A and B are shown apart, each in its own frame.
Chain A
Amino acid sequence: MDPSLLQDFLTESGELIDQLDTDLVRLETADSSEEAQELCNGCFRALHTIKGAASFLGLTAVTTFAHAAEDTLNRLRKGEVDVTEQVMDALLQSADVVKGMIEQLSAGEEAQDGPKDLIDTLHAIAEGEAAAADTPDANTPPPSQDAGKEPDAEDNAKPGVPLNLGPQKLDLLEFMITDLQDAAKHIGEAVDGLCNDATLEESANYLAEVCEEMEKTAEFFELDEMTSLIKVLTSVAGKLHDASHEVIEEIAIRIKAAKTLIDQQAEALNDLRALSWPLDTFCSRLTKLAEDGSIDDQVKGQHNGDVQALLILDGVIEQGQIEIASTATVEDTPEPTVQKAETPKPATTDEPVAAPEEAKDPEEKDKAEKDTAGSRAPAKPVTEQTIRVEVSRLESLLNLVGQLVLNKNRVLALTRNIKDQPIPPEMAEDFSDAAGDLDHLMSELQVSVMRTRMQPLAKLFDRYPRVIRDMARMTDKKINLEIVGKDTEVDKSVLEMLADPLVHILRNSSDHGVEKPEDRTKSGKSEIGTIRLEAEHQGSHVRVAITDDGKGLDREVLGQKAIEKGMTTPEKLEQLSDEDVFGFIFGAGFSTAKQVSDLSGRGVGMDVVRTNINKLNGTINVMSKKGQGTTIEILIPLTVAIMPAMVVGVGDHVYSIPLQSIVEIVRPELDEIKSVSGHPVMKLRDIVLPLVDMRQRLDEPPVDDGSRFAVVVAVGGQRVGLCVDRLVGQQEIVIKPLDDTYMQGGPFSGATIQEDGEVCLILDVIQLIRSNSTTVNSETKAAA
């Protein structure tokens, strides 16, 4: 198997499955039957596409399983099975199974067969009520969707005959239609070559070849008229070699006309309809032309090279149809795709009933089509608007931009220095102009490249309704998830890093936050809990907030637990603000749940949240009111690769501190620094701020002078002051990984390259804060 084909399949299927998942959950709560129908069709399409591609690639396990799920979905789509929790459970599980298979395939393994019992369930649902459906109910109006997908404008006026094909042929329908469309396209190309003497012979041969191929396709559809038309074309193509220039032009226009007819037929076939035209005159005139080059005088030259006019002349279509037919031809670029996607494998049972019924009322259908066309088939531009690019290429592009930013910084630094040199002032000015332009362009380039990596949060958010649904089902709660601002875009890496934390927070909110329905009623709240997930841009940051209207956090309980875990002491606890106390929930192993459930309570989740958010240089705030709910607010920079930082000096060396984590910078006098159980602290307004001696942490010899700065950094409510010797200045830095094993252990989150090309390490504020609190803790413990 071609690995790139498989890769395409995996990527596409992965996206489809995500979509399927979302749609299924929405389906369960759909307000109107139209919406449900729409979603149902969407799900069906997604599954069908996966099945089709999988069978093409010979992935039997996927095909078989998708087929079973598809059957069930098909019943649902036709309204023969109700949307119940059991059915949805089965379908959602199926989506998971297919996802699992895709993951197995991505990992280079063979896909395992789907679980037997689930397949059985699916079959049971699909067949359970089959008896009822076996007798097609004529009273049931066909699903509203059908009206939209059925008619093309031209077969409204001239309704085609519904096609009756065996199930095997139905399976192949899509491919055959594509064949037909391709053939029609090839005919068009060949005809263009006919009018040129140089390419005449080649084109004629090509045409004959294509027509012969097409005969088989037409026979497959059991379309007698189409077959005979194509047969005529084949024979005509064979006679073109020695026809005169004039005759060929006449023939060419007729072949074009035939092509139009074939195109229309292909369209109609998408809806399983066969069109028919009075083709006799057309065919006989064409044959005659090819044989002896004679044209009926009354027709000769009358069409002016216009296909539609010709068709009217030959009595194939009537005058009134011109407009409709021509619009159809013009539109045929966007149409086929839409139509094809719309066309699920129709069940033979209701087709014959539905089709004539619709044919009765062309006007209404016309309207229906317009409506659906408006809502579902937005004018699709002919050219592609997006391209798929490997992430690695974007990465390298971003890397290069990073390099450029550093280089720009260097040029700017040189420009500053040049002013002190003995050079003509105009030159210095030119220099600084050029440097200024460079600076400006670089920031634009940087933004543009960043934007190529931006993805909407919807990619994540769309997964969560499922998470909440499952949580609600498992905990017997009623939870409504509101999502706001899912179009907010963030860097791809940010998106990936956010995925897990958000799930953990949502799980926490639904498990610990939202109360059981009975408890909610008791406290005068509505039975259904609400979790609100919102995202918005705030300057160069993205704010994601998760708000629940549950019971809120309890300061007493949290504080007690924190003391138990040795994270704080009773005395300290009193000084802490509410926010600081709530911050304890992010501690590793911290859980107030009395028992560990499948869902949460191990105290790992929130630690993951903090770790990941910290890696993104983000901050978390917890706000909560007892009895009213909790809001967890995450602020993350839009991108992680380039950020502003404060460069500080410790000893002879310089280090960067992400500006994001810096609250303020103070300059304590020597006597302001006190010591609490051997650890330096200072009083900053009304709080006691622990200090970290950076000289000590960074293996520099201690000094006694007091002219030091305390850079106050905060992470998740915890604050410490980092004592440094010098402030060098604020700088835009490009983060480089510092991932070699030799580099691990030090309090660094990465490195950057300075203006002079030297490496500057970035301080990992979180690690500094953590190690500070652990040393404090271990010592307080030892003291106790």
Chain B
Amino acid sequence: MATETQAPTTEDINSVISQASSDGELLQLVSFEVGDEEYAVPILSVQEINRMMQITRVPQSPEFVEGVINLRGKIIPVIDLRKRFGLVELENSDDVRIIVVEIASRVIGFTVDRVNEVLRINSSIVEPPPAMVCGLDTDYVQGVGKLDDRLLILLNLEKLFTAVEIAEIDKSSQAA
């Protein structure tokens, strides 16, 4: 107790921190739009965000794979999130960006319609994904963040990109 009274500043900071952690941790996210929805991924998984660049098509790869790009000498695949989410294709606008993420030592890019902002939200306002979302397998939805005026779909990138693979493999093995 004595130490605490002697060091009020530390106490203040501690209380702030403990309050934060009791309510949940602070999440730093990058939000972007695909179709009509707004999504977000943790900022730490994002390596960089690029303007649209020349994408080389890779024949006989999964349908949602748009192709590969040359990222400063490294060749990485680019996923079309629209196709991945089963949305109609759009003409590429100037707002389209390629978000490059690193997941489990894999570097993958994905295209989004528009990148919105970097924001911090408290994890307490994130709710688990609704039990049933029509037509979508919701594995890769980590939660839904309720902001004042809008909803933010938090994506689990690992599941987003691996679940697909498994589905693909299943499909091909069924076909064979």
Contacts and interface: CB of A to CB of B under 8 A. Distances in A.
B50 to A, nearest CB: 13
Interface in B54-106: 54, 56-62, 65, 67-70, 73-77, 79, 106
A653 interface: yes
Contact of A751 (B68, B79, B106, B165): B68
Place the interface of chain B in its size category.
20 to 34
Interface string A722-762: 00000000000000111011110111100101000111110
B108 interface: yes
B89 to A, nearest CB: 16
A746 B63 CA distance: 12
A330 B76 CA distance: 60
Interface in A624-662: 653
A740 B70 contact: no
A761 B74 contact: no
Contacts of B58: 742-743, 746, 748, 761
A335 to B, nearest CB: 51
Contacts of A747: 60
Nearest to A734: B73
Contact of A736 (B60, B74, B77, B106): B74
A287 interface: no
Nearest to A399: B73
Nearest to B107: A740
Contacts, number: 67
Contacts of B67: 759
Given A653-B56, A698-B59, A759 B68 contact: yes
A63 B74 CA distance: 46
A781 interface: no
A653 B77 contact: no
A653 B59 CA distance: 10
B108 A740 contact: yes
Nearest to B65: A742
Contacts of A737: 75
A745 B60 CA distance: 7
A699 interface: yes
Q: Main SS of the interface on chain B?
A: strand
A758 B65 contact: no
A743 B68 contact: yes
B101 to A, nearest CB: 13
A697 interface: yes
Interface string B24-45: 0000000000000000000000
Interface string B104-143: 0010100000000000000000000000000000000000
A746 B59 contact: yes
A758 B59 contact: no
Interface in A700-722: 700
A281 interface: no
B60 A699 contact: yes
Given A741-B165, A746-B61, A753-B70, A758 B77 contact: no
Contacts of A753: 70, 73, 75
A697 B67 CA distance: 16
A775 interface: no
Contacts of B69: 759
Nearest to A697: B59
Interface string A376-408: 000000000000000000000001001100100
A740 B106 contact: yes
Contacts of A736: 73-75
Given A740-B108, A742-B61, 13 more contacts: A399-B73, A653-B57, A697-B60, A699-B59, A736-B73, A736-B74, A737-B75, A742-B62, A743-B58, A745-B61, A751-B56, A758-B56, A759-B69
Shortest beta-carbon contacts, A-B, top 9: A746-B60, A759-B56, A698-B59, A699-B59, A742-B77, A736-B75, A751-B75, A740-B77, A742-B65
22 contacts: A406-B73, A653-B56, A697-B60, A699-B59, A700-B59, A740-B108, A741-B165, A742-B62, A743-B58, A743-B61, A745-B60, A745-B61, A746-B58, A746-B60, A751-B68, A751-B75, A753-B73, A757-B54, A757-B70, A758-B54, A758-B56, A759-B69
